[in-house]
Amino acid sequence: MVYLDHHATTPVDPRVVEAMLPYFTVAFGNATSRTHRFGWEAREAVERARRQVALLIGAGAREVVFTSGATEANHLAIAGAAAAAPTDRRHVVTVATEHRAVLEPCRQLGASGWTVTELPVDPTGLVDLDAVARAITPGTALVSVMLANNEIGVLQAVAEIAPLAHARGALLHTDAVQALGRVPVDVAALGVDLASFSAHKLYGPKGVGALYVKRGVEKRLAAPVRGGGQERGLRGGTLNVPGIVGFGAACDVAGREMPDEARRVGALRDRLWQLLQERAGGVSMNGASAPRLPGNLNVRVAGIDGESLHVGLTEIAVSSGAACTSAEPSHVLMALGLDKTAALASLRFGLGRGTTAADIDRAASHVADVVAHVRRSSPVARLAAAGAGR
Catalytic residues: 324
Q: How far apart are CA 74 and CA 82, in angstroms?
A: 12
Non-local CB neighbours of 359 within 8 Å, separated by 6+ positions: 2, 4
Q: How far apart are CA 267 and CA 357, in angstroms?
A: 9
Non-local CB neighbours of 68 within 8 Å, separated by 6+ positions: 207, 208, 209, 240
Q: DSSP state, 149?
A: -
Q: DSSP state, 93?
A: E
Q: How far apart are CA 30 and CA 351, in angstroms?
A: 37
Q: How far apart are CA 311 and CA 333, in angstroms?
A: 20
Non-local CB neighbours of 311 within 8 Å, separated by 6+ positions: none
Q: How far apart are CA 75 and CA 378, in angstroms?
A: 43
Q: How far is CA 168 from the centre of its chain?
A: 27
Contact (Cβ atoms closer than 8 angstroms) between residue 96 and residue 146: no
Contact (Cβ atoms closer than 8 angstroms) between residue 205 and residue 7: no
DSSP letter for each residue of 247-304? HHHHHHHHHHHHHHHHHHHHHHHHHHHHHHHHHT-SEEE-S-SSSB-TTEEEEEETT-
Q: How far apart are CA 368 and CA 301, in angstroms?
A: 10
Strand-by-strand arrangement of the 283-285 sheet: 283-285, 296-301, 346-350
Non-local CB neighbours of 65 within 8 Å, separated by 6+ positions: 73, 76, 210, 211, 212, 213, 231, 232, 234, 235
Q: How far apart are CA 56 and CA 276, in angstroms?
A: 34
Residue type, 85: A
